[in-house]
Structure 1
Amino acid sequence: MTRELSPYYEQLLEELRKLLLDVDDDELILYKGETAAHVATRLLAARWSHYQDWDTKAGPFYEAGGLVAWLGVDPDEIDRMEASGDLLAVTTDAGRRLFPAFQISPFGKPLPHLAEIRSILYPALPNDLTIARWLNTPSRRLGGATAVEQLFAGDAEPVLAAAREDAGRMAH
C-alpha cells in the first residue's frame, strides 16, 4: 500500500528537487559507488537537533551521531576536528556535546579558516559558545554580513582582520 503524501511533503519534495538540480553529484557522494539510497539516508540521519534553551544561543545543532552521518566520517574524526579547532562544540549542562549547524555548509563542507579564527579569538573569548555568537553576529566591518557568510563566500581576510581587532580590543 502506497501512502499518499500530504501537501507539505509534496512541496518539500519539490523544493528538494529544485535544490538538487543545482548540485553536482560529486558534492553529495562521499565515495565511489555510494548509492542514492545511502545519500538520502545520510541526509536524513544528519538532520538538526533542537534544544530550546540553546537554539537561541547558537543553534540549531548537530549531535555527534548526526554529524558523523552527514560528513561520512567515523566518530574519532569528529573528535580530531574538534581538538584541532576545525569544529566548534558546546556542552549542555547535562554534558551533551552539540555542534552548531552553521559551521557545516549545506553540502557538508566545514567552515573555512575556523581553526585560525578560534586561535585568534580564544584568548579574548573564553569558549566555543561566545565564538559561535561572534561568528554569527552581523558586522559593519563586513558590510552587514556575518563572519560565517563571508567565510563560506571565500572572503576570509576581512574576517581575520576583524577577529584580530576584536581580540586585541578585548584583551585590554
Structure 2
Amino acid sequence: MDTHTGRRRTDTDAADRPADPAFERRLLAQVERLIAERGSVLAAQGRSLADLGDVEEFAERMVAALPTRHPYDESLGPFYDTAGLVTWLGVSRQAVADRVRRGTLLACRTADGHLLYPSLQFGRDGQVRPGVFEAVGEFTRRGVDGWAVALWLTTASEAFEGHSAVDFLVLHRSSAAAVQRVVEVATADAQSWVA
C-alpha cells in the first residue's frame, strides 16, 4: 500500500517508468525555492513556516497533490485516488462523496469498486476547472458513467475546433465564451445520450 496515496501498489508500478534522478533533483530544488519564497512572505507578515502545522502532515498534503498512476493514464491522464484527493484538498471523504453525488466532481469507478478522479478536471488550486465543472454536472445528472464523461472531456471534436473540451478550455484560458461553448455541447450531448 502506498502510504502517501492509500493506493495499492502492484508489481508493475515501479517498472512502469525508470527513475529520473535529474528530474527529481530539479523538482526538489523548485519545491525548496518555492518554500523559501513562501517563508519570506510569512516572515514579512510576522509568521513562519512553523505556523503551517506539523511537518509530517504538511509534507503528506504536499505529496498528495501528486496524482497516482493508472492504466488509463495514457488516454485520460493521471488520476487521484480518494485518499490522495482528500489529503490534497483538505476535505473529508464525505465532502468528496457529496461532490461526486451532486455532479460537481468527476469520479470514475474501477472494476474493483474504487473511485479515481481524473487530474485533468483540476486547476492548480484544486478547484474543478470552469467549463469542466458544468459539463460534469450535465452528464452526471443524467446518470452518465464517469469513464464516458472523462472520455468525452478528452476526445478531440469538431465542436471544439478539433481539440478536446479540456484542451479547448485551456487554449482559450477558460474564457466565458469557451466555457459557454463547452456547456452547450455537453448539454446537447448529455441529452442525446440518454434520450
| TM-score > 0.5, shorter chain as reference | yes
Q: Distance in 2 between matches of 1:61 and 1:36?
A: 27
Correspondence for 1:42 among 61, 66, 71: 61
* Offset, 1:15: 4.8
Q: Residue 190 of structure 2 aligns with which residue? A: 167
Which structure 2 residues correspond to residues 134-149 of structure 1 after superposition, within 5 A?
A: 134-149=152-167
For normalisation by structure 1, the TM-score amounts to: 0.71
Q: Residue 108 of structure 2 aligns with which residue? A: 90
Q: Residue 76 of structure 1 aligns with which residue? A: 94
Identity of aligned residues (%): 28
Q: Distance in 2 between matches of 1:56 and 1:124?
A: 27
**CA separation of 1:115/1:35 partners in 2, compared to 1, >3 Å: closer, same or farther?**
same
Q: Distance in 2 between matches of 1:19 and 1:126?
A: 40
Counterpart residue identity of residue 13, structure 1: L
**CA separation of 1:39/1:58 partners in 2, compared to 1, >3 Å: closer, same or farther?**
same
Q: Is the 8 A contact 1:85 1:114 kept in 2?
A: no
Q: Is the 8 A contact 2:103 2:140 kept in 1?
A: no
Q: Is the 8 A contact 1:58 1:129 kept in 2?
A: no
* Offset, 1:86: 1.1
Length, aligned pairs only:
159
RMSD: 3.4
Which structure 2 residues correspond to residues 1-172 of structure 1 after superposition, within 5 A?
A: 6-16=21-31, 33-34=51-52, 37=55, 39-52=58-71, 54-114=72-132, 116-122=134-140, 126-151=144-169, 153-155=173-175, 156-170=179-193
Q: Is the 8 A contact 2:82 2:115 kept in 1?
A: yes
Cα deviations across residues 111-160 of structure 1 (Å, max 9, x unaligned)?
A: 33445323433587831110111111233332343322444632310101
Counterpart residue identity of residue 149, structure 2: I
